[in-house]
Amino acid sequence: MIHSQLISRGITDKFVLDAMDKVPRHLFVPLDLQEEAYDDRALPIGENQTISQPYMVALMTELLSLNNNCTVLEIGTGSGYQAAILAHIAFKVYTIERIPTLLQEAEKRFIDLRYNNIFTKLGDGSKGWGEGLLFDRIIITAATPSVPQVIINQLADPGIIVAPVGERYSQSLVIITKDTKKYGNTLNTQYQTPCIFVPLIGKYGWSD
């Protein structure tokens, strides 16, 4: 997976490659799909949701430009795999999921694999985490029509958001940088690549 799917497609960040090498992806998929866990595709995880393709996980993580001081918010815990990758590199990871059974399974994995820098919450992540916290990095792992202002307000300065933005069934990966010293009060927005994610369902996402 590391060479044939990631390095060959241009992933170079050694922290990302190391995390992708270490996190046991087969423990984040249903038992009957464990043999396919390292295939070059997204897989179903129940509740009509998916664990993203390994390359997409690596690309989004690389685009966050993480370091070990970063506090990260992930919206869309799903299986917990992306959160585990983030937790290998960042200081703290907060992750929010709207489907209780998926969150419970992910929490069990975090305990079994002894991740002690991942904090979880059940709720509508289209509103962000709340509680007045600010995050150095925010990753949205479900498709959103736009990045809600309430989430932008929870981004530190400087800070980076990576999210699939667009229509319900096709999006572009967008990188939003908040850095008032560099860009003033304007957010720097870059479009990376086309992608397809399951929808962000919630107050500032799509309706159920």
Instruction: State the catalytic residues.
Output: 52
What is the per-residue binding string for ligand SAM in 78-97, x denoting contact by CB under 6 A?
xx-xx-------------xx
**Judged by CB under 6 A, does residue 148 bind ligand SAM?**
no
Residues numbered 31 to 60 that lie near ligand SAM (CB under 6 A) are: 49-52
Candidates 37, 43, 64, 102: give the one binding ligand SAM (CB under 6 A).
Answer: 102
Of 2-10, 63-71, 119-127, 147-155, which segment contacts ligand SAM by CB under 6 A? 119-127
- Cα Rg of the chain, angstroms: 16
Of 208, 183, 184, which is closest to residue 198 (Cα–Cα)? 208
**Judged by CB under 6 A, does residue 76 bind ligand SAM?**
yes
Which two tokens mark 13? 């960040």
Q: How many CB atoms lie within 10 A of CB 51?
A: 23
Rounded CA gap, 5 and 21, in Å? 12
Question: In angstroms, what is the minimal distance from the CB of 92 to ligand SAM?
Answer: 17
If the CB atoms of residues 50 and 71 are measured against ligand SAM, the closer one turns out to be: 50
Question: In angstroms, what is the minimal distance from the CB of 78 to ligand SAM?
Answer: 3
**Judged by CB under 6 A, does residue 98 bind ligand SAM?**
yes
If the CB atoms of residues 70 and 106 are measured against ligand SAM, the closer one turns out to be: 106
Answer yes or no: are the C-beta atoms of 206 and 200 closer than 8 Å: yes
The residues that bridge with 44 in the sheet, in sequence order, are 50
What is the per-residue binding string for ligand SAM in 158-197, x denoting contact by CB under 6 A?
---------------------------------------x
Order of all β-strands in the sheet with 71-75: 118-122, 92-97, 71-75, 135-140, 155-166, 171-178, 188-195
Crossing angle (nearest 10°) for helices 100-112 and 81-89: 40
Rounded CA gap, 60 and 170, in Å? 16
Q: Residue with structure tokens 């815990």?
A: 77
Answer yes or no: are the C-beta atoms of 131 and 123 closer than 8 Å: no
**Judged by CB under 6 A, does residue 141 bind ligand SAM?**
yes
Question: In angstroms, what is the minimal distance from the CB of 22 to ligand SAM?
Answer: 15
Q: List interacting residues with ligand SAM (CB under 6 A).
A: 49-52, 75-76, 78-79, 81-82, 96-99, 102, 124-126, 141-142, 197-198, 200-202, 205
